[in-house]
Chains A and B, each alone.
Chain A
Amino acid sequence: MAAYILRRLWQMIPTLAGVILLVFFLFKYFGGDPAEILGGLLATPDQIQAIRTELGLNDPWYVQLGIFVKSIFSFKWGNSWATSEAVSHIFATRLPATLTVMIPILLLDVVLGVVAAMAVAYVRGSLTDRTIMVVTTVMLSISFLVYVIVGQWLFGFYLGWFPVQGWSDSVLTNLSTYAVLPVMLAVFVSLAPQTRLYRSFFLDELGQDYVRTARAKGVSENKVLFKHVLRNALIPVLTNVSVQLPGIFVGSFLLETFFSIPGLGREVLLAVNRSDYPVIQAVTVYLAALTMVINLLADIMYRAVDPRVVLK
């Protein structure tokens, strides 16, 4: 096990190096001149030159790459170009809001998705099953935007059940008041594709020989479904969750924009609109690293769920 983890960590190094190179050269050769972005429209050539010297833009590219790598590993990204807020401070203050919204979404998604998928798989082939499949196909074709626009209007504005937008300092108030509508909408939208996907996992397992054997020896249908099928179907479910997991840190930038939630996703979007390169670069590099770690954790979790899995 330890050898496996060490080897996987070792394999991450070239990938992470690639991410760093990609981000560095993307912004260096395709992005605008940082000095002109920082200087603004009224900057004189002297001022631009001064900024260039300060940022080290006149150095050869490998020196700049060195500075870039150093800032990644020392966690010192300096300040945001737009607001002069320290990038590390942006991370620390925006992440809690994002997680407040995204963790309930992920949990509800998985639990409701598995329950709904089991129910649909149980009635497979029937009219209910087919109706649900058609409805989910149509629901999937409507943009997420439409659900959020209509949901915010209906529940926030027209019916007035929830605040249209807002955020407070207390996590409890946020969870009970402000996060309810965004979480509900996100779960509502993702439930359809989630159910479709999980249904296929369950159907795959239901066709297996061990299910027939269990039925043949007289195990009750409930026990077959909950004990035998559920445990086996959880493996692909876990894979799917681990694919989604890194996403909860960027959050749904759409939800954050719509509901004015001061989270990381909205911050990244603002940074893109302001050409605030340090923020985008930092978020991209760190999330890539996080994604790799989460993938490793998911692989280790397989072993916990299914003892037959051999890690090599």
Chain B
Amino acid sequence: MTQKKDETITTEVISRLDELFGDEKVAGDSEELFTPQGEPETEPEPIANNESPQPDQPDTHQSSSRELKPAEASKNPFSELDAIVLSIEWEITDEIMKSFIDEVNRLKALYRNDKLISMFLQLHGTIGKYISTNKAQSHPDSIRLLNSAYSGMKSVLSSPEMPDAEKKKLLAAEVKKTKELKKKILLGKSTASSFNQSATSTAPPTSANASETLVKAERSKMALEQAVEEIKATVRAEIASLKKDLKAIMSNL
């Protein structure tokens, strides 16, 4: 019966192939020599299949190759931060983010008398902490903002002849972007939060002024994020299920 099945399948496949490659005539049937038995050679020992894999993790042994020594005297006090920012471009790990924040703090101490640079560094610290806490859940714009703020700061540092007004303008631009990002993040959270509220039928939070909301959001950040994730998953599953039902209905029509 198995052989019969084989033959039927083979016939079907061959006729399909004939349709597809039709104007080629099949040469007079060459010897059907193939039989599954035949003295097999001594089979080689089954070779153990591939070694256990190492799925890609950003948390590898290969972190920043530079060793970071605080308060290291160097020609360019920003050379360490340069290296760290470059390595963030390649990989974001706890270790790298910690180095980033430590280095920012070190530079803050060094530049405590320079208000402008201090404020730039303050921005870096805020963004760095956000990315460090949220990692994969960070808003994609946060990395862009980090690079942009860094680039702005470097412009100021590399142009001592730049008028103060222009320097302040650069800083203001970065501060504005930071505020906009914060709004985006909060908007995302409060949307999810109100979703949560309606699901659990508790009163929605009164929208106080921005800084108050910021403080509140930061306090319950972790719990909120978890709730957001759960809700997202539920909504997605529901939508997927609805889509499927719809498809089934359409195909039955």
Chain B binds chain A: no
Binding site for A on B (CB under 8 A): none
Binding site for B on A (CB under 8 A): none
